[in-house]
Amino acid sequence: MKASEPWERAGDKIRLQGFNLELWKYEGEPGSLIPLLQAAQRDYSYIPEAAIHYISDIVGIPPAQIYGVITFYTQFRLKPLGKYLLRICNGTACHVNGSKLMGQVIEDELGIGVGQTTEDGFFTVQSVACLGCCSLSPVMVINEDTHGRLDPRKIRKILKSYQSAG
Amino acid sequence: MVTLTIDGIQVTVPPGTMILEAAAKAGIKIPTLCNSKRLIPFGACRVCVVQQKGRRGLMPACFNPVRNGMEILTNTPDIIKARKIQLQLILISHPLDCPVCDAGGQCELQNLVYEYGVSENSFKGEKANLATDHVSPFIERNLNRCILCGMCVRICDEVVGANEISFLNRGFKMKIGTDFDRPMNCEFCGQCVSVCPVGALNDRMFLHKARPWDMKETQTICGYCGVGCTLTVGTKNGRILRVRGDESRGVNQGTLCVKGRFGWEYVHSPERLTSPLIKKDGSFVKATWEEAIGLVVKRLKEIKSEKGGSAIAGLCSPRLTNEELYSYQKLMRGVLGTNHIDHAGGYSYAAPLALRESLGYAASTNSINEIRKADVIIALRSDLSETHPVIKSEGVLAVKRRKAKLIVVNSRNIYLNKFSAFNLLVKPGSEVALINGMMQAILQEGLAKEEFVSSRTEGIEALKQSLKNYSPEKVEALTGVSRASFVEAARLFAKAVGGVILISTGQASEKKDRDLALAASNLTLLTGQIGKENAGIFILGEKNNSQGALDMGLTPGWLPGYANLGNPSERERFEKSWKLSIPEQEGMGALSILQAAEEGKIAGLYIAGENPLVAYPDSSRTKKALAAVDFLVVQDCFLSETASLAQVVLPAASFVEKDGTFTNADRRVQQVRPGLYPPGQARPDLWIFQQLSKSLGYKLNDPSAKAVMDEIKNLVPLYGGIDYARLDNPLGLQWPCSSADHPGTPFLYEKDFPAGKGKFIPVEFEEGPAETESPWFLITGPTMVHSGSLSLMSPGLTRLQGESYVQVHPEDARKLGLEDNQKVILRSKQGQITVKTLVSWNAAPGLLFVPCHFGQVGGNCLTGRDLTITKVQLEKV
Contact: A71, B164; criterion CB under 8 Å: no
Residue B818: list chain A partners with CB under 8 A: none
pLDDT exceeds 80 at position B144: yes
Q: Which of B791, B636, B673 is nearest to B272 (CA)?
A: B636
- Calculate how close chain B gets to A74, using CA atoms only, in Å: 9
Contact: B170, A12; criterion CB under 8 Å: no
Q: Identical fold at B125-268 and B776-876?
A: no
Q: Quick check: helix, strand or coil at residue A154?
A: helix
Q: Quick check: helix, strand or coil at residue B677?
A: coil
Give the rounded percent of residues in chain A with a pLDDT score beyond 90: 40
Instruction: Kindly write down the DSSP assignment for every residue of A102-147, as one continuous string.
Output: HHHHHHHHHS--TT-B-TTS-EEEEEES--S-GGG-S-EEETTEEE
Domain ranges for chain B: 2-75, 125-268, 277-348+546-734, 350-540, 776-876
> Tens digit of pLDDT for each residue in A106-154?
999 999 988 889 988 889 998 888 888 999 999 999 988 999 999 999 9
> Tens digit of pLDDT for each residue in B644-654?
999 999 999 99
Contact: B169, A71; criterion CB under 8 Å: yes
Determine, yes or no, domain membership for A79: no
Identify whether residues A152 and A91 lie together within a single domain: yes
Would you identify the CATH topology of the domain B2-75? Answer: Ubiquitin-like (UB roll) (3.10.20)
Determine how β-strand B422-425 pairs with β-strand B457-458.
unpaired
> Tens digit of pLDDT for each residue in B664-701?
999 999 999 999 999 999 999 999 999 999 999 999 98
Burial of B419 (0-12, 13-18, 19+ CB in 10 A): buried
- Cβ of residue B841 closer than 8 Å to a chain A Cβ: yes
The span from the CA of B110 to the CA of B118, in Å, is 10
Contact: B179, A66; criterion CB under 8 Å: yes
N- to C-terminal Cα separation, chain B:
69
Mean pLDDT of B404-415: 93
Q: Higher-confidence residue: A45 or B331?
A: B331
Instruction: Give the pLDDT band of residue A5 (cuts 50, 70, 90).
Output: very low
- Calculate how close chain A gets to B556, using CA atoms only, in Å: 48
- Calculate how close chain A gets to B167, using CA atoms only, in Å: 5
- Calculate how close chain B gets to A154, using CA atoms only, in Å: 37
Identify whether residues A93 and A159 lie together within a single domain: yes
Contact: A67, B179; criterion CB under 8 Å: yes
- Calculate how close chain A gets to B722, using CA atoms only, in Å: 46
Give the rounded percent of residues in chain B with a pLDDT score beyond 70: 99
Which residue among B168, B179, B839 sits closest to A11, beta carbon to beta carbon? B839
Q: Higher-confidence residue: A81 or B709?
A: B709
Q: Which of B589, B641, B573, B654 is nearest to B610 (CA)?
A: B641
Mean pLDDT of B629-635: 96
Residue A66: list chain B partners with CB under 8 A: 179
Which residue among A49, A68, A78 sits closest to B166, beta carbon to beta carbon? A68
Residue B169: list chain A partners with CB under 8 A: 71-72
- Cβ of residue A8 closer than 8 Å to a chain B Cβ: no
- Calculate how close chain B gets to A49, using CA atoms only, in Å: 8
Which amino acid does the sequence have at A34?
Answer: I
Which residue among B164, B814, B841 sits closest to A64, beta carbon to beta carbon? B164
Would you identify the CATH topology of the domain B776-876? Answer: Barwin-like endoglucanases (2.40.40)
Report the CATH architecture of B350-540: 3-Layer(aba) Sandwich (3.40)
Determine, yes or no, domain membership for A156: yes
Determine, yes or no, domain membership for A2: no
Identify whether residues A91 and A29 lie together within a single domain: no
Instruction: Kindly write down the DSSP assignment for every residue of B218-234, as one continuous string.
Output: EEEE-SSSTT--EEEEE
pLDDT for the residue A36: 84
Residue B810: list chain A partners with CB under 8 A: 10-12
Task: For B578, list phi and psi in degrees, rounded to 5.
Answer: -85, -20
pLDDT for the residue A13: 44
Contact: B165, A64; criterion CB under 8 Å: yes
- Calculate how close chain A gets to B183, using CA atoms only, in Å: 12
Contact: A64, B170; criterion CB under 8 Å: no
Contact: B170, A72; criterion CB under 8 Å: yes
Contact: B814, A52; criterion CB under 8 Å: no
Contact: A11, B813; criterion CB under 8 Å: yes
HSE toward the beta carbon, residue B848, CA cutoff 13 A: 32
Which of A13, A71, A74 would best serve as a mutation to test chain B binding (most B beta carbons within 10 A)?
Answer: A71
Residue A12: list chain B partners with CB under 8 A: 810, 840-841
Do residues B325 and B554 lie in contact, with contact meaning Cβ atoms separated by under 8 Å?
yes
Number of domains in chain A: 2
The span from the CA of B686 to the CA of B667, in Å, is 22
Instruction: Kindly write down the DSSP assignment for every residue of B403-466, as one continuous string.
Output: -PEEEEEESS--GGGGG-SEEEEPPTT-HHHHHHHHHHHHHHTT-S-HHHHHHHEE-HHHHHHH
Instruction: Kindly write down the DSSP assignment for every residue of B324-348, as one continuous string.
Output: HHHHHHHIIIIIS----EEEGGGTT
Instruction: Tell me the torsion sign for CA atoms A49, A51, A56, A57.
Output: positive
Which residue among A10, A11, A67 sits closest to B180, beta carbon to beta carbon? A67
Task: For B336, list phi and psi in degrees, rounded to 5.
Answer: -90, -10
Identify whether residues A103 and A136 lie together within a single domain: yes
Burial of B187 (0-12, 13-18, 19+ CB in 10 A): buried
Instruction: Give the pLDDT band of residue B630 (cuts 50, 70, 90).
Output: very high
Which residue among B163, B165, B841 sits closest to A11, beta carbon to beta carbon? B841
DSSP state of B91: H
Contact: B164, A11; criterion CB under 8 Å: no
pLDDT for the residue B792: 87
Domain that holds residue A149: 84-165
Residue A72: list chain B partners with CB under 8 A: 167, 169-170
pLDDT exceeds 70 at position B134: yes
pLDDT for the residue A19: 54
Report the CATH architecture of B277-348+546-734: 3-Layer(aba) Sandwich (3.40)
Which of A72, A76, A78 would best serve as a mutation to test chain B binding (most B beta carbons within 10 A)?
Answer: A72
pLDDT for the residue B325: 96
Please report, for residues B397, B493, B602, B623, B860, the alpha-carbon distance to residue B598 in angstroms, rounded to integers and kept in the order given. 49, 47, 8, 9, 18
The span from the CA of B258 to the CA of A86, in Å, is 50
Q: Residues B602, B606, B609, B615: what is their CA dihedral angle, to the nearest 10 degrees?
A: 10
Instruction: Kindly write down the DSSP assignment for every residue of B168-234, as one continuous string.
Output: ES-GGG-EEE-GGGPPP-S----HHHHH-SSSSEEEGGGTTT--GGGSEEEEEE-SSSTT--EEEEE
SS (H, E, C) A52-108: HHHHHHHHCCCHHHHHHHHHHCCCCCCCCCCCEEEEEECCHHHHHCCHHHHHHHHHH
Which of A57, A67, A72 would best serve as a mutation to test chain B binding (most B beta carbons within 10 A)?
Answer: A67
Which residue among A10, A11, A64 sits closest to B166, beta carbon to beta carbon? A64
Identify whether residues A55 and A88 lie together within a single domain: no
Q: Which of B370, B391, B366, B362 is nearest to B379 (CA)?
A: B391
> Tens digit of pLDDT for each residue in B724-780?
999 999 999 999 999 999 999 999 999 999 999 999 999 999 876 666 677 888 888
**Among the ranges given (A48-62, B222-236, B378-392, B470-484), the one the predictor scored with the smallest mean pLDDT:** A48-62
Instruction: Kindly write down the DSSP assignment for every residue of B694-727, as one continuous string.
Output: HHTT---S-SSHHHHHHHHHHH-GGGTT--HHHH
Determine, yes or no, domain membership for A77: no
Do residues B174 and B168 lie in contact, with contact meaning Cβ atoms separated by under 8 Å?
yes
Residue A67: list chain B partners with CB under 8 A: 166, 168, 177-180
Which of 33-62 (A) contact B at CB < 8 A?
Answer: 49, 52, 62
> Tens digit of pLDDT for each residue in B802-830?
889 999 998 899 899 998 899 999 998 88
Residue B164: list chain A partners with CB under 8 A: 62, 64
Contact: A11, B169; criterion CB under 8 Å: no
Nearest-Cα residue of chain B relative to residue A48: B180
Contact: B179, A10; criterion CB under 8 Å: no
Under 8 Å CB-to-CB from B538, ≥6 apart: which residues? B364, B365, B366, B368, B371, B391, B500, B501, B502, B503, B665, B666
> Tens digit of pLDDT for each residue in A16-37?
555 554 555 566 667 788 888 8
The span from the CA of B572 to the CA of B580, in Å, is 10
Contact: B163, A10; criterion CB under 8 Å: no
Contact: B179, A12; criterion CB under 8 Å: no
Partnered with residue B221 across adjacent β-strands are: B230
Identify whether residues A97 and A148 lie together within a single domain: yes
Do residues B425 and B413 lie in contact, with contact meaning Cβ atoms separated by under 8 Å?
yes
Q: Which of B835, B829, B870, B827 is nearest to B856 (CA)?
A: B835
> Tens digit of pLDDT for each residue in B371-396?
999 999 999 999 999 999 999 999 99
Report the CATH architecture of B125-268: 2-Layer Sandwich (3.30)
Give the CATH number for residue A25.
Answer: 1.10.10
Give the rounded percent of residues in chain B with a pLDDT score beyond 90: 83
Nearest-Cα residue of chain A relative to residue B418: A60
Instruction: Kindly write down the DSSP assignment for every residue of B234-299, as one continuous string.
Output: EEETTEEEEEE--TTSTTTTT---HHHHHGGGGGG-TTB--S-EEEETTEEEE--HHHHHHHHHHH
- Cβ of residue A28 closer than 8 Å to a chain B Cβ: no
pLDDT for the residue B653: 96
The span from the CA of B344 to the CA of B834, in Å, is 26
Nearest-Cα residue of chain B relative to residue A47: B180
pLDDT exceeds 50 at position A2: no
The span from the CA of B528 to the CA of B453, in Å, is 7
For chain A, the farthest-separated pair of C-alpha atoms sits apart, in whole angstroms, at 56
The span from the CA of B780 to the CA of B813, in Å, is 19
> Tens digit of pLDDT for each residue in A77-99?
898 888 899 999 999 999 999 99
Residue B168: list chain A partners with CB under 8 A: 67-68, 71
- Cβ of residue B180 closer than 8 Å to a chain A Cβ: yes
Give the CATH number for residue A100.
Answer: 3.40.30.10
Which of 137-166 (B) contact A at CB < 8 A?
Answer: 162-166
**Among the ranges given (B241-250, B532-541, B788-797), the one the predictor scored with the smallest mean pLDDT:** B788-797
